[in-house]
Amino acid sequence: MSDERTELGSDEAPDQGHDPSRRRLLALAGGAVAATLMPGVTLFARTLSIGSGKTPVRFGLLVDTTKCTQGCNACVSACQDYNGLSKDPGPDNAQWIRKVTITDPHTGFTRSFPVMCQHCAEATCVDVCPTGASFRRPDGIVLVDKHRCIGCRYCIMACPYKARSFVGRVIKDQKPWAPRGKGTAEGCTMCVERVANGKVPACVAACNDKGEKAMTFGNLHDPKSEIAKSLARFSTTTIRADLGLRPGVHYRGI
């Protein structure tokens, strides 16, 4: 099990279960370690996370809630446009991203900010998926492989952020870059097709264009990236940080 974690690129510091001396040994041995179990059967362990202790790329978001305003809906609107989601308010329309307003009843302190899939390092949706459809890419983006999804809805139940939803009706006029259909779970994809082409997700682009420039997208593991610099400079948090899921979406000002 621990080897599997290493293979998947557990992106931060070594897991508690590992013996540090063993890790050093692996690191010394270089990029890949092989152990012969019996003739013809060899166990390979990639040592991706050893060295810097991080994967080279982990995509993430920073939402500056001090800039986000309650009336602005640009990110939600852009998500719907780009991914072909229905704009009609209805009980079964998908919300890959939604605006949430929080108020402290004692002080009256109010903040409005978008909440979407938090792309957790320890994603509960990935843990509970019985078919491997819910998975985390090596670059930190958590996705549903709809070819494998059987529509059991476990991930929807497991997600503490209510980021996943179920498609219950036949869908038509999908976007070629955002396939979605009846009988599968879905959620924010961090606009993988845009990210693959070097662009930022639709919500971030719209926020910077029409909104309040409150959202930053980038590689959390690159110290030179704008997002990593902001995270190092400002006090930020993640939603329900107490759950220890290590989300990739960070918030400032809440």
Partner 1 sequence: MKNRALVIAGLSVLIFFGAIWADHRGTVPVPLVPTAQGHCVLPTALMRREHMMLLRRVREQIVRDGKHDQADRLTTCIACHVQTTATGASIPINQHGQFCAACHTYVGVHIDCFACHATVPQKAIPIADLGQTHGEQAAYRIPRVILQHAPALIARGHS
**In terms of CB distance, is 218 or 247 closer to partner 1?**
218
- Chain residues that interact with partner 1, rule: CB under 8 A: 56-57, 59, 78, 81-82, 135, 137-139, 141, 143, 145-147, 170-171, 173-177, 179-184, 192-200, 202, 204-206, 208-210, 217-219, 222, 225
In whole angstroms, give the CA distance from residue 234 to residue 66. 12
Nearer to partner 1, 69 or 208 (CB): 208
Could you count the other beta carbons within 10 Å of the beta carbon of residue 138?
14
Taking the complex as a whole, the smallest distance from the CB of residue 78 to partner 1 amounts, in Å, to: 6
Q: What are residue 73's phi and psi, to 5 degrees? A: -130, 20
Tell the smallest beta-carbon distance from residue 138 to partner 1 (Å). 7
To the nearest whole angstrom, how small is the minimum distance from the Cβ of residue 242 to partner 1? Answer: 29
Q: Fill in the amino acid letter for 117.
A: C
Q: Least distance from C-beta 196 to partner 1, angstroms?
A: 4
CA distances to 29, 50, 155, 231 from 219, rounded to whole Å, are 28, 18, 26, 11
Nearer to partner 1, 178 or 239 (CB): 178
Residues 166 and 181: their CA atoms lie apart, in Å, by 9
Minimum distance from residue 244 beta carbon to partner 1 (Å): 26
Contacts 24+ apart (CB under 8 A), 190-193: 190/59, 190/61, 190/117, 190/119, 190/141, 191/82, 191/83, 192/141, 192/143
Tell me 45's DSSP state.
E
From residue 155, give the alpha-carbon distance in Å to each of 146, 150, 191, 200, 245: 13, 11, 20, 26, 14
Give least dist CB 190 to partner 1, A: 11
User: Quick one: 81 or 92, whose CB is closer to partner 1?
Assistant: 81
Tell which residue, 94, 212, 101, has the closest CA to residue 144.
94
Residue closer to partner 1 by CB (options 147, 233) is 147
CA distance 5 to 143: 18
Name the residue nearer to partner 1 (CB basis): 57 or 120.
Answer: 57
Task: Give the residue with the Cβ less far from partner 1, 130 or 183.
Answer: 183
Q: How far is the CB of 112 from partner 1 (least distance, A)?
A: 22
